Amino acid sequence: MKKTCSFAFVHMAVAFTVGFVMTGDFWVGSALALVEPACNTVAFYFHERWWNRRARTSDAIDRTAVTA
């Protein structure tokens, strides 16, 4: 979870910077910094869970294939 929170902070900083540089508007940058990374952080968390489950399943299949 610490990795996810760290990722969220970096992502929000990048989103704000890109939004502000592209529009010159503090509020647009702020909105982008809150909305887009929040959605992406949730997606990233579930992606990590899915990826780890997939890796465990793949390892189990590989071990089964070796012993068969």
Q: Tens digits of per-residue pLDDT, 5-64? A: 898 888 889 999 999 999 999 999 999 999 987 888 899 899 999 999 998 887 766 666
Which one-letter amino acid corresponds to residue 2? K
pTM tops 0.75, yes or no:
no
For residue 53, what pLDDT is reported?
92
**Is the separation of the CB atoms in 29 and 16 below 8 Å?**
yes
Dihedral (CA of 51, 57, 60, 61) sign: negative
The domain in which residue 7 lies consists of 2-67
For residue 5, what pLDDT is reported?
86
For residue 28, what pLDDT is reported?
94
How far apart CA 62 and CA 29 sit, in angstroms, is: 47
Domain count, the chain: 1
For residue 29, what pLDDT is reported?
94
